[in-house]
Chain A
Amino acid sequence: MADLPFVALSAITLAAIYGLLAIGISIIWSSLGMINMAHGFTFALSGYGAWLAAQYLSDAGPMVLAGGIVAGALSGVLICAVSFLPLHDKPNFVVRSMIATLAISLIGSQCLLWAFGPRVKALPKVFGEGTVEFGEVVFTADKVGAIATSAVVLLLTLFWMTRSRRGLEIRAMMQNPEGAALVGIGVRKTALWVMAVTGGLAGLAAVLLSQTFFVSPGSGLQPLVKGLIVALCGGLGSIRGALIAALLIGITEAATATYLGGQYVLMTQFGLIIAVLLARPRGIGGLLDETRE
Chain B
Amino acid sequence: MTAPILEVRGLSAGYGPLRVLHDLDLTVEAGERVGIVGLNGHGKSTLFRAIAGLTDWQSGSVCIRGAEVGGSRSQGPGRHTHRIVRKGLALMPQGDAIFPGLTVREHLDAGAYTSLAWRERARRRDRILEIFPPLARLMDTPVGRLSGGERRMVSLGRGLMAESALLLVDEPSLGLAPKISKAVVEALMKIDLQDGAMLIAEQNLTLLEGRVTRLLGMHAGRLKGGGSVVLPGRHVGGGA
Residue ranges of A at the interface with B (Cβ–Cβ < 8 Å): 89-91, 165, 168-169, 171-172, 175-187, 287, 290-291
Residues A178 and B97 in contact in the complex (CB < 8 Å), given A89-B75, A171-B102: yes
A-B interface contact total, Cβ < 8 Å: 81
Interface pick from B21-29, B64-72, B107-115, B126-134:
B107-115
Give CA–CA (A279, B159) in the complex, Å: 40
Report A-chain residues with C-beta under 8 Å of the C-beta of B90.
182
B78 at interface by CB-CB < 8 Å: yes
Give CA–CA (A270, B109) in the complex, Å: 42
- B173 → chain A closest CB, angstroms: 20
Q: List 16 A-B contacts (CB under 8 A).
A: A89-B77, A89-B78, A168-B106, A169-B110, A171-B99, A178-B97, A180-B110, A182-B90, A182-B93, A183-B113, A184-B85, A184-B113, A184-B114, A185-B82, A185-B113, A187-B82
Report B-chain residues with C-beta under 8 Å of the C-beta of A169.
110
Give CA–CA (A179, B91) in the complex, Å: 10
Chain A CB within 10 A, most for which of B81, B99, B159: B99
Report A-chain residues with C-beta under 8 Å of the C-beta of B82.
181, 184-187
Partner of B144, one of A91, A186, A290: A290
B101 at interface by CB-CB < 8 Å: yes
> Does B100 contact A89, Cβ atoms closer than 8 Å?
no
Give CA–CA (A183, B93) in the complex, Å: 11
- A72 → chain B closest CB, angstroms: 27
A interface SS class: helix
- B54 → chain A closest CB, angstroms: 7
Least CB separation from B77: chain A residue: A89
B52 at interface by CB-CB < 8 Å: yes
Partner of A172, one of B76, B86, B99: B99
Give CA–CA (A1, B99) in the complex, Å: 48
- A169 → chain B closest CB, angstroms: 7
Residues A184 and B162 in contact in the complex (CB < 8 Å), given A90-B75, A175-B99, A179-B97: yes
> Does B99 contact A176, Cβ atoms closer than 8 Å?
yes
Give CA–CA (A238, B177) in the complex, Å: 34
Pairs A-B, 8 closest by C-beta atoms: A184-B113, A179-B97, A175-B99, A89-B76, A181-B81, A290-B100, A184-B85, A186-B82
Give CA–CA (A165, B90) in the complex, Å: 20
Given contacts A182-B159, A291-B100, 6 further A-B contacts (CB under 8 A): A89-B76, A90-B75, A168-B109, A169-B110, A175-B100, A182-B91
> Does B97 contact A176, Cβ atoms closer than 8 Å?
yes
Give CA–CA (A291, B99) in the complex, Å: 8
Give CA–CA (A168, B110) in the complex, Å: 7
Q: Which positions 171-198 of chain B face chain A at CB distance < 8 Å?
A: none
Residues A171 and B101 in contact in the complex (CB < 8 Å), given A181-B85, A184-B82: yes
Least CB separation from A190: chain B residue: B82
Q: Which positions 32-73 of chain B face chain A at CB distance < 8 Å?
A: 52, 54
